[in-house]
């Protein structure tokens, strides 16, 4: 089945979003490609959650995008064995308190 593909930038523009609080990405191993379709210098989700293991397995699948998020001003604050959660450094006040 063919499915049309658009970038997150195009979706954000079409919906005229002024801010994004949570961006959740679960695209079965294509997280890096999805993140390539958003300009994080312009659109700054407060929190990014992305699937970090390959579908139906546990090997890490974040090598193509984790370091990119960190270099663009995000800090990882949680991992639930499937998803990695990052917070924009500019929104550090939202980070959960350490337990």
DSSP collapsed to 3 states, the chain: CCCCCCCHHHHHHHHCCCCCCEEEECCCCCHHHHHHCCCCCCCCCCEEEEECECCCCCCECCCCCHHHHHHCCEEEEEECCCEEEEEEHHHHHHCCCCC
pTM for the whole structure: 0.86
- Looking at residue 58, its pLDDT comes to 73
The yes or no reply on domain 18-94 and CATH 3.30.110 is yes
What confidence score (pLDDT) does residue 37 get?
95
Write out pLDDT tens, residues 7-61. Answer: 999 999 999 999 999 999 998 888 999 999 999 999 999 999 999 887 777 778 7
pLDDT for the residue 60: 80
Output the pLDDT for position 62. 83
């Amino acid at each position: 089945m063919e499915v049309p593909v658009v970038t997150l930038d195009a979706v954000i523009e079409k919906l005229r979003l002024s801010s994004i609080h949570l961006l959740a990405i679960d695209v079965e191993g294509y997280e890096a490609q999805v993140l390539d379709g958003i300009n994080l210098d312009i659109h700054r989700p407060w929190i990014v959650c992305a699937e970090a293991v390959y579908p139906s397995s546990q090997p890490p699948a974040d090598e193509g995008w984790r370091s990119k998020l960190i270099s663009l001003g995000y800090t990882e604050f949680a991992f639930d064995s499937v998803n990695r959660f990052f917070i924009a450094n500019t929104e550090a006040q939202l980070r959960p308190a350490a337990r």
